[in-house]
Structure 1
Amino acid sequence: MFWNITLTLLSGLCTTIEIFLLTLLFSLPLGLVIAFGSMSRLKPLHWLCNTVVWIIRGTPLMLQLIAFMYIPGIVGHNIWPSGDAGRMMATVVAFSINYACYFSVIYRGGIQGVPVGQREAGEVLGMTKRQIFFKVTLLQMIKRIVPPMSNEIITLVKDTSLARVIAVYELTFTGYSYMKSSGLVWPLFYTGVFYLLFVGILTILFNYIERRLDYFR
């Protein structure tokens, strides 16, 4: 029985990892786009991006999951496939938009944190704006954003458990199902071991990245 439950939990862990990876895949570049939009000199784009960030950061992720999943069907234009695929798709979209908004603030802080004199020095040397961004701003920005970005990404690991509110069969939902059906509590707490291992691997990875970026001191 122990091994059967463990295998089921591992299946839930695979779903959790899938949500995690897909969210990063879409939210990291989208966050950079939103960051540039929020810094744009075009007022409509500036206000639009800042308003979206304000709404997403000001409302619970759980509420956003429910809204993305059910509101399209309520208004009569359901955009999600039926079954598990539709719930997974809604989850990834909700998570990606949510974390893109948080990442955008980190990106913006990293970009604006690079001294203006650095960019001016690049212009004096005859560098184009593209060269200044990739060779001066971007490299220094990465060093600045790694610590806050690592915190958000580790938080994402734990936030994946919220997907259970729309019946996505992720790790926590898997453990909780045994408590409801069989009265077993230990599988639910056993999920904590998987989260700790997952977060531990990410922590080691980010510590390694920070050490590799020490040459920017």
Structure 2
Amino acid sequence: MNFDYFMSMLIPMLEGAKATVLLFVLAIVLSIPLGFMLTLAVRSSMKPISFLAQTYIYIMRGTPLLLQLLFFVFGLPLLPVIGEFLVLDRFVAATLAFILNYAAYFAEIFRGGLLSIDKGQYEASQVLGLSKWQTTTRVILPQMFRVTLPPIANESVSLVKDTALLYAVAVPELLHYAQTVVNRDFTIIPFFIAAGIYLLIAFALTIVFKYLERKLQYD
């Protein structure tokens, strides 16, 4: 295999990797705050809001992401009455599915982080005269993020791998281009190249989260 042939495989796969990275960035940036809002909704004193949030999390975590992708990409336009208004670009629909799915997982991570904080922290904050807002922002949230950062890192790496599911809904991404070359040239080398790209992305994420863990540990 000469260099020119290798580059002819690599360049389109890097184009596909752009879609992979874009999906990851959009999903992680939007699903984390949405997940935290869901956590607050679950802990709400208003029972209907708490019930709806818990039901949402149960449905999104209890059904396969692939099924959700198929629904958002192909199912939304088939809904009675409103379907014609829900015809989305496939990448946009898939991104929406990823955001809503991972928000449910992050919500559970944040809920576990809040539960891990001793109730004495709240009582001590009251003794010190801190307001509820000050207690939340200065005492509770920093500890919660310190506890939840490792599982967030794990979910982020899983998100990178799950982007390969775009292949199932015909959205051109890294795996799509790899499979195209495999079918065209009858070689498995593109699969190894794709694996290498996924590993590089996961490695970069691991370094970033390790840095954040160290920073939070010494702050």
Shorter-chain TM-score bucket reads over 0.9
* Letter paired with 2:9: I
Task: Report the alpha carbon displacement of residue 19 of structure 1 after superposing the two structures with TM.
Answer: 0.3
Residue deviations 1:62-116 (CA, integer Å, cap 9, x gap): 01100111112212514134xxxx0110111000000000000011111121111
Q: Are 1:30 and 2:37 matched, yes or no?
A: no
Q: Give the structure 2 partner of residue 12 of structure 1.
A: 16
Write the distance in 2 (CA, Å) between the matches of 1:179 and 1:80: 32
Q: Are 1:148 and 2:151 matched, yes or no?
A: yes
> How big is the alpha-carbon RMSD for the aligned residues of Structure 1 and Structure 2?
1.2
Equivalences, count: 212
Which 5+ residue runs of structure 2 have no aligned equivalent?
A: none
The TM-score normalised by the length of structure 1 is: 0.94
Task: Report the alpha carbon displacement of residue 122 of structure 1 after superposing the two structures with TM.
Answer: 0.9
Write the distance in 2 (CA, Å) between the matches of 1:26 and 1:191: 26
Q: Match for 2:138 among 130, 135, 146?
A: 135
* Residues 80, 89 of structure 1: 8 Å contact kept: no
Q: Match for 1:168 among 158, 168, 171?
A: 171
Matches within 5 A, 1:87-102: 87-102=90-105
Q: Give the structure 1 partner of residue 161 of structure 2.
A: 158
* Residues 106, 149 of structure 1: 8 Å contact kept: yes
Q: Give the structure 1 partner of residue 114 of structure 2.
A: 111
Please identify, of 181-190 and 122-131, the stretch whose mean Cα deviation from structure 2 is larger: 181-190
Q: Which runs of 4+ in 1 moved over 4 A?
A: none
Which 5+ residue runs of structure 1 have no aligned equivalent?
A: none
Task: Report the alpha carbon displacement of residue 184 of structure 1 after superposing the two structures with TM.
Answer: 2.5
Write the distance in 2 (CA, Å) between the matches of 1:200 and 1:158: 12
Write the distance in 1 (CA, Å) between the matches of 2:13 and 2:143: 41
Task: Report the alpha carbon displacement of residue 147 of structure 1 after superposing the two structures with TM.
Answer: 0.7
The TM-score normalised by the length of structure 2 is: 0.93
Write the distance in 2 (CA, Å) between the matches of 1:154 and 1:138: 23
Q: Are 1:180 and 2:176 matched, yes or no?
A: no
Write the distance in 2 (CA, Å) between the matches of 1:107 and 1:164: 30
